[in-house]
Amino acid sequence: MQGPVEIGDKVFFNHPEESWIIGVVREVNGRLKVCETEDGVMCKTEEALKVVESSLDSVHDLRKMSYLHDSTLLYQLRKRYWDNVIYTNIGPIVIALNPYDYSLPRYTDDKMINYISEGPDVLIHGSQQFPHAWSVAHQAYCSMRAKQENQSILVSGESGAGKTEAVKIVMRYVGELSTTAATPDQRDHARSINTKVTNTSPILESFGNAKTTRNDNSSRFG
């Protein structure tokens, strides 16, 4: 249980536009606090929480955070995003933040082999790679093979979050993973099918997408 917030404390406070951000308490008037942001802007707030320093340490899985709160969750995701780490685990769930950039070095297709090479051992020991949509696809495919049961991958998010692109990433990975033991001709044939399926998306979308407040071209067929 945290004690009362005092002048000079480093805190997370609820900013009216930025949500929870880090600042320093400069005034305390009952429940009302005046906090200074890292940019030197003064803000009034009634919601302030002392920063637990260990909660600022970056983690790949949010379940491993030392202190769990809306503020620390947002801090982790925001910090990782600005460090070009767009995927974060919550157990078997992967949070993906749209980077609007296909060239981030950690996520280029040549890194796919690092995930594929883990094989079915991920079902026992989990993946040792950075969080990625590939890991979810890998886990689902290996579970399907091991249990001989159908598997599903749920991709959800608000309009413009990147759901359609995430599905394409998953499909491309499954296409590569499923042909690791194939001959070169079989692999080329499978890749051609994968490419054809992926390329149907813009054709289907040409029949009519939706405009939302966040996305002028919201896919109805992803």
Global pTM reads 0.83
Average pLDDT over residues 173-192: 84
φ and ψ at residue 200, rounded to 5 degrees: -75, -20
SS3 assignment, position 41: coil
pLDDT in tens, 106-152: 999 999 999 999 999 999 999 999 999 999 999 999 999 999 999 99
Q: Cβ contacts of residue 70 below 8 Å, gap of 6+?
A: 19, 20
pLDDT band of 220, cuts 50, 70, 90? low
63-95: pLDDT as tens digits = 999 888 999 999 999 999 999 999 999 999 999
Structure tokens at 41: 């802007």
Mean of all residue pLDDT scores within the chain: 89
Q: Which residues of 161-198 are buried (b: 16+ CB within 10 A; e: fewer)?
A: bbbbbbbbbbebbbbbbebeeeeeeebeeeeeebeeee
Token pair 């080329």 in the structure block, residue:
188
How buried is residue 203: exposed, middle or buried, by Cβ count under 10 Å (0-12/13-18/19+)?
Answer: exposed
